[in-house]
Every structure is written in structure tokens, then in C-alpha cells.
Amino acid sequence: MTEYYNYIKALHLIFVITWFAGLFYIPRLFVYQVEAFQKPSPEKEILGKQLKLMAKRLWFIITWPSAILAVIFAVWLLFLFPSWLQAGWMYVKLFFVLLLIGYHVKTHQIFKQLQRDEVKYSSGFMRIWNEGATILLFAIVFLVILKNSINWIFGVLGILVLGILLMLGIKLYKRIRDKNPDA
């Protein structure tokens, strides 16, 4: 079975990439849905209907299947190489993967709310929520690439700095957008 390792790994990576593509785009659609909800009729209904359809297709045709297949291929890899579970970095990576799954589940809750026209979050919150997947991606990729050579203190500090820079970027963009609404 180990002769199929590279195929299984390639499929795992492909589905991780498509999973993240969905996780990067769906909160952007949420931002647009929240903002469309505040528009006057008939624009509100027209945009809302189209954005719901786009979100539904993205979520159920790309994001959910990719998440499931990425996890299946990851478990298959761990089954082929159980010794990986003896490495400390793997447990940290699996912790971040569990956070990613939690992020995905919470995003699904938000998706269901917006499909029912329940707006519980602002577009600003959704812009910040959009960065959650980015932070998790950085953490997971650095763990996989650097493994034991990473200094955990600097790694955690690096993720925190990345988060702070992302938040500052969002605030800067908001200022620019407030001055020029067409940006």
C-alpha cells in the first residue's frame, strides 16, 4: 500500500487546497450577503437570491466535499504511517486541523443563518472571520514544512503577529473604503 503514498498525498493536498479555496471565498460571499441585506428593495431581494445560490453551490459542491476528502486522505496517510503520530509536531498540527474543522463547522452555522435571511453578524465581523482560515493555513503549512526545526515560541509569536497584521490591514482597508465607497 505504501507504493501509493505519493498518489494519496497528492490527492490529500489537492483537496486541502480546494477546501481552503472554499473557506477563503465563502466569508466574502457572507460579507456581500450582509451588505445586500441592508440595501433597498428590489436590489436587496435580487442580490440576496443570487448570493445565496452562489454560497450554496460553493459550500455544498466544493467546500464540504473537499473537507471530507482531505480528511479521508489524511487518515489514510496516518494509517499507512502510524509512526508519524510519535512526532510531537504532528499533535500540534492535528490541534490546528481540529481548529480548522471547528472553523468550518461555525462557518456552516453562519451559512445556514444567512440562507434563512438571519443576519447576526456585521460585514466587518465577516471580514475579520475571513482571516481565520488564513491564520490556520499559515500555522498548518509551517508545521508541516518545518516540523521539529521550528521554535514553538517564535512560531506562536509569528502567528500572533500575522493575525495582528491582518487585523491592521482590515482596519486600513475599512478607512480607505469609508473615504471612497467604490473601492
93 assigned ligand-binding residue: yes
**DSSP string covering 79-147, please?**
HH-GGGGGSHHHHHHHHHHHHHHHHHHHHHHHHHHHHTT---S-HHHHHHHHHHHHHHHHHHHHHHHHG
User: If you compute the radius of gyration of the chain from its CA atoms, what whole number of angstroms results?
Assistant: 19
pLDDT of 80-124, one tens digit each?
999 988 988 888 889 889 999 999 999 999 999 999 999 999 988
Cis amide prior to 40 (ω within 30 degrees): no
Q: Does residue 142 have a pLDDT over 90?
A: no
Predicted model pTM: 0.84
Please choose, from the candidates 53, 74, 66, 72, the residue with its C-alpha nearest in 3D space to the C-alpha of residue 23. 66
Residue 160 in this model has a pLDDT that exceeds 80: no
- Domains of the chain, by residue range, sit at 2-179
Judge residue 149's burial from the number of C-beta atoms within 10 Å of its C-beta, 0-12 exposed, 13-18 middle, 19 or more buried. Answer: exposed
pLDDT at residue 101, as a whole number = 97
User: For residues 133 and 60, what is the distance between their CA atoms, to the nearest angstrom?
Assistant: 18
Helix, strand, coil abundance in the chain, percent, nearest 5: 90, 0, 10
